[in-house]
Each structure stands twice: as C-alpha cells, then as structure tokens.
Amino acid sequence: MKLHVISRDEVRQAVSMGQAIETVRAAFEQLSQGRAHVPIRTQLGVPLHDGVTLFMPAYLEQTDELGMKMVSVFSGNIEQGLPTINAMVILVDAETGLPTAIIDGTYLTALRTGAASGAATDLLARADASSVAVLGTGVQGRTQLQAVCTVRSIEKVFVFDKRDAVAEAFRDDMADVVSAEIEIASTAARAVRGADIVCTATTSKTPVFSDADIAPGAHVNAIGSFTPQMQELPSETVERCLLVVDSREAVWAESGDLIVPRDQGRISEESVHAEIGEIIAGTKEGRTSDDQVTVFKAVGNAVQDVSVGARVLEEAKKKNLGTIVEL
C-alpha cells in the first residue's frame, strides 16, 4: 500500500487561499443539497490537560471524496510554545476504501477555516467593505485576514489580542502577506468600532466585544466557538443579525454562540436564516440592505477538510510535492 504524505509547508505550496475558497464553496453547496454525508464529529475531552480531540469523517457524494480529520485543541500549549491546534487529514479512495494520503492538517485546518470565512465574506459583506477587525491573532486569525483580503479590497486592519507580543508578531508577519495597513488596537472595542468586517478567532467563553461596538452594515465571521461552553458573540448581536451558518445541525449541537442565546430565550432554531451552502446554491438570499448586520457562524465541517485535502493531493501530484511511503 502506498501513501502520499504531505507536510505543512507542502500544503502551503500546493493550494492558494483563492483555490481553497473555490473548493470550500463547492463543498458547502454539496452539504446543503444533501450530497455530503457528515456525522456530527466525535469530541473526546481531555480535561486533565485542558484539551479536546475531535474526529471528523466525511464523504462528498458528488465529487466522490472520502476521508477524516483528527484535530486536537489544547489551550495549555501556548505556555509551552506549542500550537494550540494540531491536526492530521487522512484521505481514502472512495471506490476501494484504501487510504491514499496523510496530510498535515494543522495549516490545512486554518486554510479551510479561513476559506469558509472568505466565501461567506464574499457573499455577505458589503461590496465596498474596506476595513477589518481581527480578534485573536493565532494561526486562525492569520488565515481569516488572508481570506477576507482575497475577496475584498481591504485598506485598514485593526487587530486585538490580550497578548501584546502575539499581536505584534501578527502585525509583522501579515505585513508581508496583505497590502493593507495593520494597526494594533488597545481594546477589542476599538478594533471592532467602525470595522466593515469583524473576524473572531479566539477560545473565549465570554463575548469578546459588545453589541454596541458593531457598526451598521458590518459583517461578522465567528469561528472560535465550537463547544456549548464557548461564546465569542454577544447574544444581542446574534438576536438582531441576519444569521448564516455552515451547518444547522452542527451549530446547534456544538456552538455556545447560538446555544447560549437560545437558552436565554432570545432566539430559536428558526432564527438561522440559511446555511452558507444554500446561499451559494441560490436557494436562499444573502444581505438585503447596506445597514444590515450579517453573521457567519461556523464550527467547522469535515467537508471542508476532505475537499481541501483532496485539492491539496491533486495539486501536490502536479507539482511533485510530498513523499510516497510504502506500508
């Protein structure tokens, strides 16, 4: 049995953010049209080490792509100088069931998550959006900004992180990736006020900004909360926005951003306007006015990992990237 092993750097070389956005759009459309089979992911908590490992399989029927991601989120890794998120994607031949590739999933996770927000921003943000706030400046924050800058002409970026040194490293690193001016904000409120687009990429258990900070017509990508105990968004914002999600089933099972305001009686499950795949397919409309606040709430879906993983494998073969291992 031969496996194609693809490293983190090779994933970066294989697929651009623009290609990832294109791939994720098609995957979300399959998901919302019932052409993808995605069990709710299994979460295995490791409370002794403040961590959780998730197992996320998917089969995309239309493109005949099969695989699974295993991802660990360990908050304590920051103190050890290690990445908070570590992951691996395994691809399987859908016809034979034989494994075909093992791909480093840490950067792929950030890439596909950014790509989802890029697709949502393209569909939901105002066409003239030119400023963005990024709350949380880890690996996810980087690809959030990269994706937004791929689909909109961004001139100004406001970033906030509780750790000043991390925010400064983000500013310095991203200055070589995007052309926009990057400013470190002293508070989350200052970052969010006036921003046309807001990206939240934290592990917070309490809202990271106030509803009053959101400007009329802003678009929010909220990607940090993936357990019922985590909440980045104020309940007031969720209550009044046009709410779009990656998967209805998944967000109601997993995200405190929606579960908390539902349990408070502020919203119901019918408050979700659409899945992003429905807007991509044209079966639901997106923004209806320039002053409407739109929110894309994503917990991450295995169709993203498997579809982008398959695209990585395809491009890696074309570019002679990766290592063939005989098992």
How many alpha carbons fall within 13 Å on the CB side of residue 179?
7
> What is the rounded (10 degree) CA torsion for 308, 300, 82, 132?
90
Known active-site residue 69: yes
Q: Is 119 exposed, middle or buried (0-12, 13-18, 19+ CB in 10 A)?
A: buried
Tokens (6 digits) for 156 = 């100004």
Q: How far is CA 176 from CA 173, 181, 259, in A?
A: 6, 11, 38
Q: Which of 69, 162, 297, 318 is catalytic?
A: 69
**CA–CA separation, 56 and 40 (whole Å):** 8
Q: How far apart are CA 196 and CA 34, in angstroms?
A: 33
Q: Write the CA distances from 43 to 72, 253, 282, 307, integer angstroms.
A: 9, 11, 33, 21
Q: How far lies 189's CA from each of 108, 184, 192, 222, in Å? A: 30, 12, 5, 16
User: Alpha helices of the chain — where are they, by DSSP H?
Assistant: 8-14, 17-32, 105-124, 139-151, 164-174, 188-192, 235-240, 248-254, 256-263, 276-281, 302-318
Count Cβ neighbours within 10 Å for each residue of 312-323 and write b for 16 or more, e otherwise. Answer: bbebbeeeebbe
Is the separation of the CB atoms in 91 and 295 below 8 Å?
no
Cα-Cα end-to-end distance for the chain: 5
List active site positions.
69
